[in-house]
Amino acid sequence: MTHSLSKSAPATFQTSPAPPGALQPNAALFTALSDLLRAHAPQAALLARVGDAVLRLEDGGLEDGGPELEPPEAWLEGGEMTWLSRDGELLGLLWSEDGPVSPTAVEVLTMLLAASRPDGAVREAEVLVTQLPVATAWLTPELTFRRVSRPFLELLGLSDTEVLGRTVAEVLPGRPELLLTLQGAVSGRSVHLSDEALPPVGAQADTAGGKVRWVRGEARPYLGGWGAGVMLTLQDVSGEYERAAGVSALLDTRTPAALLTEAGVVLHASHGLSELAPQVAGQPAPVLVGAPLWAWAGFEGAPSAAVHNLVRLAAGGGPAQADVRLASGEVLTLNVRRSSENGLLVAESAGAQAGGPAPLGMISQVLALSEDAAVLVDAAGRAQLINDPAAALLGVEAARLVGLGLTRVLGELGVKVFSPQGQPLALPEWRSLPAPSCREVLLALPGHSLRHMELRLTPVGAEAGRKDGGSRAAAPAGGGLLLTLRDVTMLRRAEAKMHHDARHDSLTGLRNRVGLREDLTAMDRTPPTPGALVCLNIDGFGALNTALGRVACDRLLIGLAARLSDQVGGPGGAVARLEGGTFAVLLPHLESHDAMEAVQRALSAPLRCGPRETALTFGLGVAALDGGTAEDILSNAEIAVRHARQQGRGGIGFFTPALRAGVRNAYALEEDLGGALAAHEFTLLYQPVLNLGTGRALGAEALLRWQHPQLGLLSPASFLEAAGRSDLIARIGEWVVEEAVASRDRVRAGAAGQSAAAGAWQVSVNLSLEELRRSEGLDRLLPVLRTHGAPDIEVTAGSLLDHSEETLDMLEQLRGYGARLCVDDFGDGAGSNLSALIRFPLDVIKLHPTLIARLPDDPRVVTLVASTIELAHRLGLKVVAVGVERAEQLDVLRDLGCDAAQGYVVCPPLPEAELLAWLAAR
């Protein structure tokens, strides 16, 4: 069901039963949230959990946000999203299309939502009204003040003891209309209050500076934890009335102008109009104020029928303008029109007097066509020309400002000027400013936001001002100054947004890598202080993202960001999202182990993702802040988390210089690996396999080695992982097969005269099925296999977990070229996949060295090996024991019926020449 909090329509609120002491979702809470958004973030939308419901507050309306606290898709596509969290719990999401909202709004909304949780006390929620940033009061149905905010007391100039417990009639006496309006709110209607003039009361009345305050307000019904009542909100609008009075004061100008009643009586006249009357020595000036305008002696043949006719036409509803002759013989173009205030007319000069000074001509036309705000001032600092954009910027009609000192006008309008850094600047005396010049300022106009303006000052020759010619409005002959204001607010906001976006993650609002690097650079680490940077990575993030979907996974990341942000309490702390599921937490006041424990505590509870909670594991790496530059510290933490991930899920790592050295060495090794094949640095060693029944050598396993120029002989464990990151692994595998087949043929030829079994000599090589699939390595091997016949192929037991048709076809193809297929490392856990023994065309299983190492002392392992041998024989498979190091192990395996053995007790790995010598000796 959707509830709308309309200001005009009656509002009713229903609450569901709640446990004792719980804060029910009610109108007071909705009103407080709405008022806070309007006061601090009018452009923002709020999605929050209140009780058992998720509510969405946007543009003054309240809607059902759905069953889960999940941001709409549009919020994820653009704008700025801020999470509201307390104690690791996500309370709400605040979204703004125009940029981040103020920290004050985030703090107060978080406090209000935290108090509205089911475990919050009603008393706490009621007390919150005293902390609201707007003038707010909660009234009982009898219109007695129960709670008031501090701005409310400041607006009335009263203390809480003078308000709380008293009725509205006692605090604001003599206002029957106000009481009648508030009774409408008690009956369930949202009402607006007419503007009221509040005379000084209490402490304000005792000071000389006490003055009348104009207030505007609204009242709404609400249901609180202690009963029904009214929420009264007031707004100080004294500034509007003061500005209206200031506009009237602007008639104090040298431009001929007057303020009239609809009957034509002059209420106020400018000096410029008064000075047009003929001056007779020894006689008082003709009466102007208080008399009809047409009766003034300044007009020729007063009373002037022409002026009377203009006033009558304007009072009838339309503007009127005519040339009126003055008593001095000059002609005044007089315009009479209605003002913005009901019942008042404005009479003013529509231009220069006939026979007077010449108009500003070209400058006037240029200013009229300009899109920038422009004001031309004379050498005395008086405004001579004002274009429409300038008048619109100041909120005053241009004609009313002509002839006034510009500094005075800006001061009376409440205009304030600041430097781009926010330092207040005094309004200048324009004649003292250097010109030409250009600078940027911040302009604060009453009722408007702060605007970034480019102010350009251009000198204008004497012809730009009014030349002396007997005119009372003549300017000094020194020329004037053209002020041009160009609004660059949108440009500066765009620049600020680009600066923000370049340093923040678009999804979570956290800093990104660039922003974190700047934070680390800005830290003062002299003298060295304790502190740590913890880097964390979600285990299996890619699979998690695929399983949950984008929206759900994004929400999980937002919740994780909120959880981590709660851990950064001290100054200088920060949280950053580096990429995907990788985050960094800067804790400048904790040692490395304490920082690691703090992050682990924050991550111990599951994160909510949609309708369920998701338990995650993380790889954590930590680096101290005394590790050099910002880039060094960040790199150290990432090295530590990479080390943690190598340990498996949930691993942790503390940075040490040895880890960096390992990374550096691995990189150098990978660089050297690229040229090792061309430099013929790879070699094969051969470890013979002994038939336990006959004692004869059946063949050998080819073992790859890298003869590094500086590091010596390296095993595959040192370099195959690096080779696997490129196509080099396939080329190395191709070389191994070619060399092993060639060596097999040479051994057969060399031992042909020494043994009848020389023709059966076979060599086995280890191949990765994954690499064969990925790089089409099998197709590259086919020419060798066709020409020379295949060697025996060893594949790991783990690679046979894939029961796909592709794996089966590949093994069938290898066997078709004469290869016997061996399962290596059988019995290490992954190799316990017994179904692979019947799924694929296998010939041999090779027992893992960890099983052989426990023979003959562990009777359970003896039983396991015996059972495995028996099972393999029943399936028609041969069994080879690998890693046989002692003679007693060889005897046990022979007694258990094992077919063959391989290990140092038989023979260590040998180069081909030494292998031939070993075979000859046997």
| Phi (first) and psi of residue 643, to 5 degrees | -65, -40
List 193's β-bridge partners, or say none.
Answer: 217
The whole-angstrom separation of Cα 424 and Cα 421 is 9
Q: 337 — alpha (psi -120 to 50), left (phi > 0) or beta?
A: beta
* DSSP structure class, residue 402: T
Task: Quote the pLDDT of residue 245.
Answer: 53
Say if strands 257-261 and 344-349 run parallel, antiparallel, or are unpaired: antiparallel
* DSSP structure class, residue 292: B
Place of tokens 């933490």: 637
SS (H, E, C) 564-575: HHCCCCCCCCEE
The whole-angstrom separation of Cα 148 and Cα 156 is 11
- 3-class secondary-structure state, position 138: strand
Among candidates 452, 485, 55, 414, which has minimal Cα distance to 249?
A: 414
- Which residues have CB under 8 Å from 921's CB, separation 6+? none
In angstroms, how far apart are the furthest CA atoms of the chain?
Answer: 152
Provide Rg for the chain, Cα atoms. 45
The whole-angstrom separation of Cα 509 and Cα 79 is 10
- Which residues have CB under 8 Å from 268's CB, separation 6+? 248, 251, 258, 259, 289
The whole-angstrom separation of Cα 481 and Cα 431 is 8
Burial readout 613-631 (b: 16 or more C-beta within 10 A, e: otherwise): ebebebbbbbbbbebeebe
Task: Quote the pLDDT of residue 3.
Answer: 32
- What's the predicted TM-score (pTM) here? 0.51
Q: Are 515 and 501 in contact (CB under 8 A)?
A: no
- Which residues have CB under 8 Å from 158's CB, separation 6+? 171, 201, 202, 203
Place of tokens 């978080």: 110
Six-digit token string for 584: 């960094």
Give the C-alpha distances (Å, rounded to integers) separating 178 from 146, 194, 432, 725: 18, 8, 52, 79
The amino acid at 503: R
- 3-class secondary-structure state, position 853: coil
Q: Are 831 and 798 in contact (CB under 8 A)?
A: yes
317 alpha-carbon distance from chain centroid? 54
- The CA-based angle 562-566-568, given to 5 degrees, is 120
The whole-angstrom separation of Cα 646 and Cα 654 is 13
- 3-class secondary-structure state, position 119: coil
pLDDT below 50 — which residues of the chain? 1-25, 119-125, 127, 207-209, 225, 243-244, 246-252, 352-362, 462-478, 756, 830-831
- Which residues have CB under 8 Å from 453's CB, separation 6+? 440, 441, 442, 443, 485, 486, 487, 488, 489
Residue ranges with strand state E in 162-300: 191-198, 213-224, 227-236, 257-261, 266-269
List 633's β-bridge partners, or say none.
Answer: none
Give the C-alpha distances (Å, rounded to integers) separating 333 from 81, 291, 351, 358: 58, 21, 6, 14
Task: Quote the pLDDT of residue 879.
Answer: 95
The whole-angstrom separation of Cα 832 and Cα 796 is 12
What tens digit of pLDDT does each residue of 375-416 get?
A: 888 877 788 888 888 888 888 777 777 778 888 888 888 888
The whole-angstrom separation of Cα 42 and Cα 538 is 37
The whole-angstrom separation of Cα 561 and Cα 554 is 10
- 3-class secondary-structure state, position 880: strand
What tens digit of pLDDT does each residue of 301-357 get?
A: 888 888 988 888 888 877 688 888 888 777 888 888 877 666 778 888 875 333 333
- Which residues have CB under 8 Å from 257's CB, separation 6+? 251, 269, 270, 272, 273, 346, 347, 348, 349, 399, 400
Six-digit token string for 918: 């070993």
